Structure 1
Amino acid sequence: MNITIAGVSLYYIISWFFIYSFLGWVWESAYVSVKKGKPVNRGFINGPLCTIYGAGAVSVYLIMKPFAGNLLILYVGGVFTATLLELVTGWLMERIFHTRWWDYSRQKFNFHGYICLGASLGWGVFTILLFHVFQPFVSWLTGLYPKSVGTVALCIVVVLYIIDFATSAAAAFGLSKTFAGVEDMLEDLTAYLHTTRVYETREEIREKLESARNYRHVQDSLAWLSDRRQEVLEHFENLVQDRRLLDAENYMERKQELEQRFDEFVKKYTDIRKKQNGIRNRMVCAYPELKNQFRTYREKHEKKQTK
C-alpha cells in the first residue's frame, strides 16, 4: 500500500483504525459491563470493534499531527475535532436507522442530545493521551510484525469487517420497525383499556404496560403479559362487584372481549419479538436505552410533521 494520507501510509492508517477500534471496544464493554453488573458486548457490529473509536482516533491524529508538540492546541483541537465527529456520527445514525444510539439530553450543556460539554472536554484529554500514550504504543505494536504479514492479515480483517458491518446494518434497519410495531400495539391496547373504564387514566394504563418494552427474552415478556392479563381481569371483576361499573350488565361479554383483546395483542407481540434475531437482541442489550431513544426520536419527528 503506497497510498499516503497526511504523510502516513494507508497501510498504517487502516492498521491503527482496527487497533483503536478494538481498544475502544475493550473500554466500552468493560465500562458498561461493570455498570450493568453483567457482560455486555458493546458496539454497533458483532465483532470486538467500536468503529467510532477507530475512526475518531485516526482522524484526530491525522488532523492534529502538525501540532503534536503543543499541548494547548492538541487539547482544544481534540475537543472540536472529536466533538464534530461525534455530532455528525450521531446525526447520521439517527437519520439512517431512525433511532438514537446515545443521548446526552440529560447532561448539562448538550446540543440536541448528540454532544455535551462534559464529553467534549473529555475528548480533549483523550487527544493528549492519544499522542503521548496510545499512539506510541500502537506504532510499536504495528512494528512487531513484517509489513507483508500485516497486509495479508489486514485483507482478511477488512473482508470480515465488511461482512459484519453489512449484517449489523441490516439488523439495525429492522430495529426501528420492531420498536414501532411494539409502540403501536401498546398504544392500541392502552386506548382500548381506557374505553373500558377499567382504569381511570391513560397514564395509569401506560404505567402498567411500560415493562413490556424492557424484556430481552420473548418468554419473559409473555409471562409478564400473562400476569397483566390476569391483573386486568381481576380488576375488572372487582369494579363490577363494587358496582363502580354501573353499565356492566353485559359482564360476560365484556370480560370475553377483554380476554380476546389481550390474546390478540399477545399473538401480535410474540410474532414481532420472534422476528428479532440474535444480532438485534445483542444490539438491544448493548444499548438498553435504544427503545426509549426510539420513542424520543418518533415523538420529535411527529411534532415536526404536525407543525
Structure 2
Amino acid sequence: MDITIAGISLYYIISWFFIYSFLGWVWESAYVSVKKGKPVNRGFINGPLCTIYGAGAVSVYLILKPFDGNLLILYAGGVVTATLLELVTGWLMEKIFHTRWWDYSKQKFNFHGYICVGASLGWGVFTVLLFQVLHPFVSWLTGLYPQSVGKIVLLIVTLLYLVDFISSAAAAFGLSKAFAKAEDMLEDLTVYLQGTRVYETKEEIREKLESVRNYRRLQDSLEWLSGRKQEILERFESLVQDRRLLDAESYMEKKRELEQRLDEYVKKYTDIRKKQSRIRKRMVCAYPELKSQFKTYREKHQKKKTD
C-alpha cells in the first residue's frame, strides 16, 4: 500500500527531502567556504546534507501547493512558514543540545537571535524560486529512474542518514559542556590576572582575552596564550619595578608562579582540544556562530533545585 501525504506519495516526499537537503548543503557549504576562504563541510551531520533545508523545502511545498499559481501568496506564505520552521528548529536544538547553532542577534529586527526580518524576507524569495524553478527540476530528476530502483537507493540513503544523524547528535550532546569548560577556564584566568595587577582593570583583561573566548577559535586561543605569555611576564616585571611592590626574592617567586599558571592554562586548553572528536571539530568549523548555552542551562537548573 502506497502511503500518501497531501495527495503525494511518501516515496516522492522522502526523495525530495534528501535532494533538497543535498542542494541546501551545496549552497551553505559554498557560501561559508567562500566567506572563510577554505573548504567547510556545513551542516549538522557529517554527510552532504543540510536537514533543515530538506525539511523546510518539503514542508513549504506541501503547505503552499494549493497556491502555486499565486506568487504573492507563495512569497508571504514562504516568509511565515520558513520563519516558523527556523524559529522552532533553533529553539529545539538549543533546548536539546544547550548550544546556539546560529545567531541573528546582531541583525536588525531579530527575535532572540533565532530569526530576523532579513532572513525571513529571503525565505520568501526562496519559496518563489522553489515553486518556479527548483521543484520542476527536482520532480524531473526523480522521474529519471524507476521507483523500484529509487526505493532501494532511498532505503540505503535513509539508513546511512540515520547512522550519521545519531553519531552527530551524540557528539553534539557533549559539545556544550566542552564550551562551558573552556569558558570557566577563561574566567579563572581573568580573576587570576586581576589579582596579579598585571592589567589595570577586569575590563582590560576581558578585552585581552576576547580573542580566545569562543571555542571555535580554540587553536587561536592556544597561540594567543603562548604568544602573550612573554608579554604578560614583561608587564608584570615592569609593574613591579615601577611601583617597587616586591623585593627580589618575592618577585622571583611571584614570577615563577605566574609563569607556571600560564603554562597550566595552555596545557588545559591543549587537553580540551585533543579530547574533541573529529565530528565536534567539524561542527565548530561548520558553524562559526556556534555558542554554548550550557552555563545558562546549568545556572537555571541549580536555581530550580534551591527554590
Paired with 2:194 and 2:244, the residues of 1 have a C-alpha distance of 13
Question: What is the 5 A alignment of 1:126-145?
Answer: 126-145=126-145
Contact 1:75 1:128 in 2 (8 A): yes
Q: 1:284 to 1:79 in 2, by over 3 A?
A: same
Distance 1:98 1:214 in 2: 15
- Separation in 2, partners of 1:269, 1:217: 11
Aligned equivalents of 1:301, 1:130: Cα separation in 2: 41
Q: 1:146/1:279 Cα in 2 relative to 1: closer, same or farther (>3 Å)? A: same
| Structure 1 pair 104–13 and aligned structure 2 pair: CA distance change class (3 A) | same
Q: Which residue of 2 aligns with 1:204?
A: 204
Q: Which residue of 1 aligns with 2:157?
A: 157
- Give the C-alpha shift of residue 99 in structure 1: 1.5
Deviates more, 1:90-99 or 1:12-21: 90-99
**Residues 229, 262 of structure 1: 8 Å contact kept:** yes
Distance in 1 between the 2:215 and 2:77 partners?
Answer: 42
Q: Deviations over 1:99-154 (max 9, x none)?
A: 21111111111111111111111111111111111111000000000101100001
- Report the CA distance shift for 1:194/1:41 in structure 2 as closer, same or farther (over 3 A): same
Write the deviation string for residues 276-298 of structure 1: whole angstroms up to 9, x where unpaired: 111111111111121xx326x74
Which amino acid counterpart does residue 44 of structure 2 have in structure 1? F
| Corresponding position: 1:179 with 2:171 | no
Contact 2:75 2:127 in 1 (8 A): yes
Give 5+ residue unaligned stretches, structure 1: none
1:230 aligns with 2:230: yes
CA distance 1:219–1:87, shift in 2 (3 Å): closer
Write the distance in 2 (CA, Å) between the matches of 1:248 and 1:38: 52
Aligned in 2, Cα 1:76/1:217: closer, same or farther, shift over 3 Å? closer
> Structure 2 counterpart of 1:94, which letter?
E
Report how many aligned residue pairs link the two structures: 303
Q: Structure 1 residue 47 and structure 2 residue 47: aligned?
A: yes
- For residues 244 and 143 of structure 2, the distance between their equivalents in structure 1, rounded to whole angstroms, comes to 79
Could you state the TM-score of these two structures normalised by the residue count of structure 2? 0.92
Q: Which amino acid aligns with 2:245?
A: L
2:17 matched residue in structure 1: 17
Q: Which runs of 4+ in 1 moved over 6 A?
A: 215-219
Q: Give the letter for the 1:256 counterpart.
A: R
Q: What is the letter of the counterpart of residue 126 of structure 2? A: F
Corresponding residue number in structure 2 for 1:167: 167
Q: Which residue of 1 aligns with 2:116?
A: 116
Aligned residue type for 1:183: E
Residue identity opposite 2:43 in structure 1: G
SS in 2 for 1:40: coil
> Which residue pairs with 2:98 in the alignment?
98
**1:37 matches 2:75:** no
Give me the whole-angstrom Cα distance separating, in 1, the residues matched to 2:210 and 2:244: 25
Give the alignment's TM-score, normalised by structure 1: 0.92
Distance 2:75 2:220 in 1: 48
Q: Once the 2 structures are TM-superposed, how far is the Cα of residue 207 of structure 1 from its aligned partner?
A: 2.2
Structure 1 residue 158: Cα displacement: 0.5
Q: State the distance in 1 between where 2:254 and 2:185 align.
A: 20
Alpha-carbon distance, 1:181 to partner: 0.6
Cα distance in structure 2, aligned partners of 1:9 and 1:23: 21
Q: What displacement does 1:246 show?
A: 2.0
Gaps of 5+ in 2: none
* Counterpart-to-counterpart distance in 2, 1:166 and 1:155: 17
- The 1-side partners of 2:162 and 2:189 are apart by 41
Shift of 1:245: 4.9
Find the counterpart in structure 1 of residue 252 from structure 2.
252
Please state how far the C-alpha of 1:216 moved relative to its aligned partner: 6.3
> In the alignment, residue 268 of structure 1 is paired with which amino acid?
K
Q: Give, in whole Å, the separation in 2 of the partners of 1:245 and 1:107.
A: 49
Whether the aligned pair in 2 keeps the contact of 1:178 and 1:273 (CA below 8 Å) is no
How far apart, in 2, do the equivalents of 1:150 and 1:183 lie? Answer: 48
